[in-house]
């Protein structure tokens, strides 16, 4: 639960899964995000289905984007996200774009630009991934990236690559 006196940052989290009932995994992850310390979920996109980015010999993905108000630092939030992934049974492999039970990506953390060994903000794939841009645009119509690029403009110009909306808001 948040205290009103805390300074809050708006973060956006990409949620994805393509193993072990992916819709259930994404739904459980969103519920888990609602329990994060010093944070509050303020918006959740629809759930979308997408083709895998990497090897095509894996199941399709289920994706959503969550808006979170938090007083956590970027690295504390990253640690919390990785803890949730581990609790869901995620195993980190060398195959970066392989199948996974749960993937939680910090897409944006306020207006911050971060580039260190653990974290890159904005997320390096934010401008090129329809399964990120379209759900993000759904919950943040007027959002701009730290470089000034409009999420609306990026979303309107990206190929949908077969992206399918599965359900309305969960929140």
* Structure confidence by residue, pLDDT tens digits, 74-96: 999 999 999 998 888 766 555 55
Say which of 96, 103, 118, 129 is annotated catalytic: 103
pLDDT at 51: 87
pLDDT category at 169 given cuts 50, 70, 90 is very low
The rounded distance, in Å, linking the Cα atoms of 102 and 147 is 29
Instruction: Note the pLDDT tens digit of each residue in 113-166.
Output: 999 999 999 999 999 999 999 999 999 999 999 999 999 999 999 999 889 998
Average pLDDT over residues 15-40: 93
Q: How many CB atoms lie within 10 A of CB 159?
A: 8
**96 belongs to the catalytic site:** no
Catalytic status, residue 60 = no
Question: Tell me, what's the pLDDT at 170?
Answer: 45
Q: Of 38, 100, 118, 147, which is the active-site residue?
A: 100
The pLDDT value recorded for residue 112 is 97
How sure is the predictor about 168, in pLDDT bands with cuts at 50, 70 and 90?
A: low
Q: Give the chain's length.
A: 171
Residue in 38, 60, 90, 147 annotated catalytic: 90
The DSSP bridge pattern shows strands 61-70 and 9-17 to be antiparallel
Question: 3-class SS at 83?
Answer: helix
- Express each pLDDT in 35-75 by its tens digit: 999 999 999 999 999 988 767 778 889 999 999 999 999 99
Active site residue 149: no
Does residue 33 register a pLDDT over 90?
Answer: yes
Q: Between 167 and 129, where is the model more confident?
A: 129
155 phi and psi angles, rounded to 5 deg: -65, -35
**167 has pLDDT over 80:** no
Q: Is 90 a catalytic residue?
A: yes
Active-site choice (79, 96, 105, 129) = 105
Instruction: Decide which of 3.40.50.850, 3.30.70.260, 3.30.70.560, 3.60.20.10 is the CATH code for 9-167.
Output: 3.30.70.560
**11 vs 171, more confident:** 11
């Amino acid at each position: 639960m948040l205290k009103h006196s805390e300074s809050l940052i708006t973060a956006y989290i990409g949620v994805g899964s393509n193993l072990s009932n992916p819709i259930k995994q994404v739904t459980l992850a969103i519920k888990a995000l609602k329990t994060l310390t010093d944070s509050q979920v303020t918006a959740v996109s629809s759930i979308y289905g997408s083709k895998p980015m990497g090897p095509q010999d894996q199941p399709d993905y289920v994706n959503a984007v969550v808006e979170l108000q938090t007083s956590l630092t970027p690295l504390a939030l990253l640690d919390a996200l990785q803890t949730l992934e581990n609790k869901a049974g995620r195993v980190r492999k060398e195959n970066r774009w392989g199948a996974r039970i749960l993937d939680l990506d910090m897409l944006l953390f306020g207006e911050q630009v971060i580039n260190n060994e653990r974290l890159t903000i904005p997320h390096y794939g934010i401008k090129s991934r329809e399964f990120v841009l379209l759900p993000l645009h759904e919950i943040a119509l007027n959002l701009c990236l730290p470089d000034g690029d409009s999420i609306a403009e990026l979303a309107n110009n990206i190929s949908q690559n077969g992206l399918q909306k599965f359900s309305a808001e969960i929140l």
